A and B are shown apart, each in its own frame.
Chain A
Amino acid sequence: MTVLTVAEHRHGRLWDVSREAQTAGLELAAVTGDTVHTAVVGGAVERFADRLGCAGVETVHTVAGDEAFNHDVYTQVLTQLAESVDARVVLAPHSVTGLNYAPALSARLDWPVVPDAVALDGADGLTVTREVDGAWTTLAVDGGRAVVTVRPGEWPVTEAAGDTDVIPFTADIDDAAVRSTVTSEAAGALADLALEDADVVVAVGRGIGGEADLDLLFDLADAVGGTVAASGPPVKRGWLPADRQIGQSGATVAPDVYLAVGISGAAQHLAGMRESDTVVAINSDPTAPIFDVADYGVVADLFDVVPALTAALEE
């Protein structure tokens, strides 16, 4: 049997979570004795397959198709491919895209779906760990078959190099069951995006010297495709409008990435951003409480790091 991982790409770029899912698959297969296959659907599949061929992955299945993601097509393709390679587990990225086909794939295969996994094991039947009711909970999967979406950033990426076969797969698409059409795709609005809609929030705190320095943060927000927010002090001083404040007396957000710049991390502020998927803190004080909730931290002067980060992202 096999573990089938699904790659994600958009706008000509392969997302790293594609190769993180491969690592998750390889670790699981090492225990179960399965082989690992990867599917890449639509767009520049040959080029993506080069990046996805890596040690341990037996086959990359390329499925020619449109660059634009269509969830009906994905669902049909992956259902047929999972059956064709005798998959036991399908690992898809936990993303807005993955959530748009993984539950349907599970319905077609009549397997359970377990989204947002942070750990997998197959030593004693299949188990998947995810957050349930506020606790990291291990779920045993009766029957051992499941569609699982994997949380980005939890597994390292696979390194390319391997004698992986690249085989085109042709799915038999039932056009009558394609009930949706992607009519356009565009870059979203940037810095003035509503806080609750932003995937990336750049939040600034007391560490910023004054209103004039805010341009640094707006430049960074542009570079990361995010929006600017603040802890209490910059709002109290009138540097940013009140609707930009995050915390107990402001908005609650849960973006994919929360960049806390010059924010100490008072409990009042943490209440509004704890649910963020990935927290990055930049602060010159290594004892600042923000580092207790951060996943990544840089202990340095924000005036040195922020311009360098903006420049590095724009390279």
Chain B
Amino acid sequence: MQVIVTVAPPSRAGGVAGSGGTAEHALGDPHGSRHSPFGRSEAAVWSPSLWDAHALEAAVELGESHEDVTIHAVTVGPPAADSVVRAALAKGADRAVRVWDDHLDGVDLLEPRLTARLLAAVTADVDPAVVLSGAQSGPDGFGATGVALAARLGYGWAAVVTELSLDRDAGVVSVRRDLDGNRSERVAVDLPAVLTVGTGCNEPRTASLGAVRAAQRADVAVRSLADLGIEQSEIEPSLTRVGTVDREHDVTLLSGAPEDAAADLAAVLRRHGVDP
């Protein structure tokens, strides 16, 4: 059984900017990356995002509980992005694939469907039972690539899963999704399926030093647009960054007697999805 785990590159802003960073960075505590969002600092942290670390852990756990599982860690990015798939190898992935092409240099891959197009070509070649993605690629990621990938391939999908259980014979993966308003649902999804994994799904492991060293020497298969049968014209962004805006942060103070302020606050909370 083939399993794919997608791993976002360290920066989404027009691909991986700059160089620097070492594999050692890539293998630290995944939670440590939370405050080093990609592309914000020159000293990029070559670490899988918090969400991707949970997706990878889910893949490795599938490998441990099922026989004959091959885990493919796939990223999209220039050579510096090798570090994130090597980090995945160190934690238990079997193969590392990086999609890149000179024609992608300078292309803003912000839009989920562009990444989904590239990942779809790799996925179709591997023919996996399950694709696992982080529910987001970063704190302000689009959180849409996994579902867009599934829709493109005609696979089943479930977004933001916090438990999963695979029944290969039945061809179904059962997942739990935690919904807004403190409710949860269980969904049975036909295989093949793309699952985007939430942070509550598992506890990502750390890699041993030996595995880290082995991963640094491992091969990363690089796939170009031509390898994947994709025309350059298919990777045309339709979103363009036209500027940034300041949004003033104002606190809305609720005043009056405690009962009145509390009643107003209760209404605010209900409006924000709090559903007692």
Q: Mark A residues whose CB is within 8 Å of B.
A: 10-11, 13, 15-17, 68-69, 71-72, 75, 95-97, 99-104, 106-108, 112-116, 118-119, 127, 129-143, 152-153, 157, 177, 179-188, 190, 194, 196-197, 199-200, 223-226, 252, 254, 256-257, 271, 275, 277-278, 280-281, 291-301, 304-305, 308-309, 311-315
Contacts and interface: CB of A to CB of B under 8 A. Distances in A.
Interface stretch (B70-78, B83-91, B141-149): B141-149
A41 to B, nearest CB: 16
A314 B268 contact: no
A130 B112 CA distance: 14
Interface of B: 12-13, 31, 34-35, 37-40, 110-113, 116, 135, 139-140, 142-148, 150-152, 154-160, 162, 174, 177-190, 193, 198-200, 237-247, 249, 251-255, 258-259, 261-263, 265-266, 268-276
A137 to B, nearest CB: 5
Given A133-B37, A134-B40, A139-B240, A115 B142 contact: yes
B147 A99 contact: yes
A294 B269 contact: no
Contacts of B189: 179-180
Given A107-B151, A180-B156, A308-B262, A278 B272 contact: yes
Nearest to A105: B151
Contact of B262 (A271, A291, A311): A311
A254 B139 contact: yes
Given A115-B142, A140-B239, A225-B182, A296 B265 contact: yes
A72 B148 CA distance: 13
8 contacts: A11-B181, A99-B159, A139-B239, A142-B238, A157-B271, A197-B162, A199-B182, A298-B262
A138 B238 contact: no
B178 to A, nearest CB: 6
Nearest to A185: B185
Nearest to A15: B273
A181 B188 contact: yes
B242 A138 contact: yes
A184 B186 contact: yes
Nearest to B261: A298
A201 B245 CA distance: 29
Contacts of A188: 178, 182-184
A299 B255 CA distance: 7
A15 to B, nearest CB: 7
Given A292-B251, A305-B258, A312-B259, 14 more contacts: A69-B185, A71-B157, A103-B144, A119-B245, A132-B140, A133-B40, A138-B241, A143-B238, A184-B185, A186-B185, A224-B276, A280-B269, A312-B266, A313-B266
Nearest to A100: B159
B144 A113 contact: yes
Contact of A106 (B148, B198, B263): B148
B218 to A, nearest CB: 30
Given A75-B151, A113-B148, A133-B140, A106 B266 contact: no
A97 B262 contact: no
B160 A99 contact: yes
Contact of B187 (A181, A292, A305, A309): A181
A69 B155 CA distance: 18
A257 B272 contact: yes
A106 B113 contact: yes
B245 A136 contact: yes
B262 A115 contact: no
Contacts of B147: 99-104
